[in-house]
Amino acid sequence: NLRKVDPALPVPVETVTQVVDRIMAGRLGSEAPLAQQPIAGEFAPRPVQKVLIHARGCTAVKLVRKALEAELDVVLVQSDPDMDSVPADMVRAAGAAGTVVPIGGNTSDESYLNALSILNIAEAQQVDALHPGIGFLSETPNFAALVRQKGINFIGPKVMSMETMGNKSNAISTTMSINVPVVPGSHGIIDSSEKALEVAERVGYPILLKAVHGGGGKGIVKVARPEQLHQQFHQVTAEAKSAFGNGDIYIEKCVTSLRHIEAQILRDRFGHTRVIGLRDCSVQRNNQKLLEESGSTLLSEQLRSEVFACAAKIAEAVDYIGAGTVEFIYDVPSDAIYFMEMNTRLQVEHPVTEAVTGIDIVKQQFLIASGESVEHLTASETGYGLEVRVNAERCVIDGDGEVTFMPTPGKITKYQLPARDDVDLISMVDEGKTVSPFYDSLIIQIIIHGENRIDAIDRMRSYLETVVIEGVSTNISLVKRILSDEVFREGDYDTTYLPKFLNRIDVPALIDEIDEASGSRGDVVDLDSLRIEGSQELRVLSPSTGVFYRTPSPSEPEYVNVGSEVEVDEVLCVLEAMKMFAPFRLTSCAGASGALYPAGQRYRINRINVSNGQQVNEGDLLFVIEPLAAEPRP
């Protein structure tokens, strides 16, 4: 039964009696070597006719579209909040060719990460293939092994490839063994802050502490000075263990001026490798990509050839099968490239490569999984591709004066995305649809094809002027400003571009633009409107849609209780939206003329109106508070 959960569980080599006899004889350790359980169904290509799509949002839209185009029967699993989603509607509209199956739950843990539920649905629906999508379980080797043990075609690489490249430390060791350049660092797991200090002194500051199983901008922190290392090491270790179930950390030298380059690969079971294009993903915020480009002439022909060769060597070294992405750091001052990581799955930004190569990457995934070859596949880039990620988020200036972006789930009240020949749209929203607070903030991918970089930028800028989305705030106003910025248009920047850009623009004006575009201007709140008639009490309303938590974690005490006396800058609760946790204070509430609750005033909590873990909408009542009289001076 345990092996059904973990196919790689070692095979028993002793009976219980033998273990007891050995220990009683004073021999604590066994001399018998561990025998690894052979993993069944490592890769068994077969024709795909009915596929379970394990995805949500934009990814599900793209996969459902391509599966139906290929005349496949589709089974789409969706959580409770996603049962009314755009991809679910697409599958229902397919009639007998489509089935939407609820997996229950709201959060990822309750739904999309529930591997056994996914497997049970796959068996019950009698699918012959499973596409793991992007994120969730798509890079989990044990899940892939379990799928194949059920006799279902997992559309992805071998388990061995996933285990090797999914573990960042193993991936670096593998690439070093085939002479692919890597960033200076520990090149292995660091098990103590003392060891981390030794490595940091050797490679030089600043350094990056990186979680072995990290990804998506999580599990990575920059350390600039030795005195920061001890605290940061233990913080990242704890965060990694919580987020990824593994607290292993390694160290890399922090390259101070870099571009983020990706190579898209396709490889079949016959050993034919095709590197079909490069992407530049250097416009980022907190290690999350915002714009992606394909057709870039950033690299010299020599470096470009080196990237292609390194990507192919890595794919061949791990006998990769399917679509994958090898990511590189381009060290701008040194004009050198270093291997960063390999994603053993489809990437969100894959459509921008499709735009310039004409190769349908998802179609190739289905064909490779069916046993087809890419031997005769040829790729040449034509023109320039640009992709924008539209996120449901608003721009705010926090209490420290820093510019940040907060998720804005909610209901779409107006939606216009005009069709255009040079535009590819992947949208998970529509008028009347709700953006859930339980998942990430990506709601639309817009992909433009132009003759060259400036033409693609201008086409994207003109298209965004025609887009209307109201009901939730989006980052479209920010993107339009970026596309008009001379530094971006000239292409002379690195991955620090976006923070620097935000430091030199009029952020309050940007906030007004975002609010106006979302249709939220004019929603004025003042202190008088919050007073409860006949008393001194005041209402405290939720500033956004999210999930309400009274404690920082289940094992810790509540921030406040009824009767607590608080200052305006004390944390009252945490609001979670789209995987981001925002501490809520009275200073978080802004009115027409600034802060709603005056600084220096103390309040008593008279009522807590929401239960722990409850979803709240913007404007919902969270607390009832009462101002306290100022204490007399002695």
Catalytic residues: 345
Give the containing element (helix H, strand E) for 100: strand 98-102
Mapped onto helix, strand or coil, the DSSP state of residue 43 is: coil
Task: Considering only the C-alpha atoms of the chain, give the largest distance between any 2 of them, rounded to a whole number of Å.
Answer: 88
| C-alpha–C-alpha distance, residues 548 and 615, integer Å | 6
Q: What is the 3-state secondary structure (H, E, C) of 548-590?
A: EECCCCCCCCCCCCCCCEECCCCCCEEEEECCEEEEECHHHCE
Q: What is the DSSP letter of 631?
A: P
Beta bridge partners of 258: 331
Pairwise CA distance, residues 229 & 217, whole Å: 20
Torsion of CA 254, 256, 257, 262, to 10 degrees: 10
3-state secondary structure string, 460-528?
A: HHHHHCCCEEECCCECHHHHHHHHHCHHHHHCCCCCCHHHHHHHHCCHHHHHHHHHHHHCCCCCCCCHH
Q: 363-381 burial, b if ≥16 CB within 10 A, otherwise e?
A: ebbbbbbbbbebeebebeb
**591-599 long-range contacts, CB within 8 A, separation 24+:** 591/524, 591/525, 591/526, 591/527, 592/524, 592/525, 592/526, 593/526, 595/568, 596/525, 596/526, 596/527, 596/530, 597/527, 597/538, 597/568, 598/568, 599/568, 599/569
> Under a CB-based contact definition with an 8 Å cutoff, are residues 563 and 626 in contact?
no
DSSP 8-state assignment for residue 185: B
Query: Alpha helix (H) ranges present in 420-475?
Result: 453-464
Residue 606's nearest CA partner among 560, 563, 549, 558 is: 563
Taking alpha carbons only, the member of 170, 207, 166, 211 closest to residue 188 is: 170
